[in-house]
Amino acid sequence: MAVSGAVLVLYLFAHMIGNLKIFVGQADFDHYAHWLRELGAPVLPHQWGLWMVRIGLTVAVIAHIVSATILAVRARKARPVKYAHRPKVQGSYAARTMRWGGVIILLFVIYHILDLTTGTVHPDFAHGEVYNNVVADFAPERWYVTLFYVVSVVAVGFHLRHGIWSAVRTLGQQSARGQRIARAVALAVSVVLTAGFLSVPFAVMTGLVG
Ligand code: HEM
């Protein structure tokens, strides 16, 4: 769970930083998208590097979902009789939001790929014109798409906050100081990623990018 999650967090950082290139300008942003397709050149042929990243990510997502299922089954076996009074402790609340948060994020990623990678559900998609595709996506009349993106990115933020905290507990030391550090790191990473991702739709909405 922790290792596959760490791979996905690294991808999110790379993706968020790449997205911020939209503030540099249209030519730079489109050039960056073009560069992604030449990742590993000249050693690797066109799109091979990108496909290696895609395969790595798919493996990480599957490993993450499989480990979550194994952990959930193990937790249920450890407590076959349900609690008569289920106290509203942090643990059960976090577990519930992790499961539903994970489902929302998975649905978002599927929609997001059909939207901005393949253009299947995008109203005005053009291959290679990534800047225009993003600007058209967050147009004022498509406020519901922007809202879906904002809700999903916030869901990613909450998921990361609890996920990173658990991962550091799994992989790191569990002293009181270690836990304080884990909590602070989890909060900082999730706030930075959430703010970075949200800055793009907000910039388009306010006309800063367009
Ligand atoms: C507002 C926030 C976001 C924006 C503006 C955005 C923008 C984009 C764009 C423009 C692409 C296509 C890039 C290209 O074809 O060169 C893309 C691809 C992708 N994004 Fe995002 N993204 C956002 C948030 C996210 C989040 C939160 C996740 C994951 C939870 C994510 C995961 C992906 C994935 C998996 C791809 C497909 C990469 C591929 O296979 O080519 N994105 N994104």
105 contacts 156 by C-beta, under 8 angstroms? yes
Report how far ligand 1's centroid is from the alpha carbon of 167 (Å): 24
Distance 143 CA to ligand 1 centre (A): 18
Q: Is the CB of 130 under 6 A from ligand 1?
A: yes
- Amino acid present at 185: V
Give the distance (Å) from ligand 1 centre to CA of residue 170.
Answer: 29
Q: What is the pLDDT of residues 113-166, one digit of tens each?
A: 999 999 999 999 999 999 999 999 999 999 999 999 999 999 999 999 999 988
- DSSP string computed for 126-168: -TT-HHHHHHHHT-GGGHHHHHHHHHHHHHHHHHHHHHHHHHH
209 lines ligand 1 (CB under 6 A): no
Is residue 44 in contact with ligand 1, taking CB distance under 6 Å? no
Q: How many CB atoms lie within 10 A of CB 168?
A: 20
Angstrom distance (rounded) from CA 18 to CA 138? 18
Q: Higher confidence at residue 8 or residue 168?
A: 8
Measure the CA–CA gap between 28 and 30, rounded to whole angstroms: 6
Residue for token pair 């406020």: 143
Average pLDDT rounded to a whole number, residues 185-196: 96
Q: Answer yes or no: are the C-beta atoms of 47 and 100 closer than 8 Å.
A: no
Average pLDDT over residues 3-31: 97
Dmax over CA atoms of the chain, in Å, equals: 63
Confirm or reject: Cβ of 186 under 6 Å from ligand 1. no
Nearest CA to ligand 1 atom 9: 116
Cα(178) to centroid(ligand 1), Å? 33
Q: Which residue is closest in CA terms to ligand 1's atom 43?
A: 116
Percentage of the chain modeled with pLDDT above 70:
94
How large is the C-alpha radius of gyration of the chain?
19
- The span from the CA of 202 to the CA of 153, in Å, is 12
Ligand 1 within 6 A of 136 CB?
Answer: no
pLDDT tens digit sequence for 24-69: 999 999 999 999 999 999 999 999 999 999 999 999 999 999 999 9
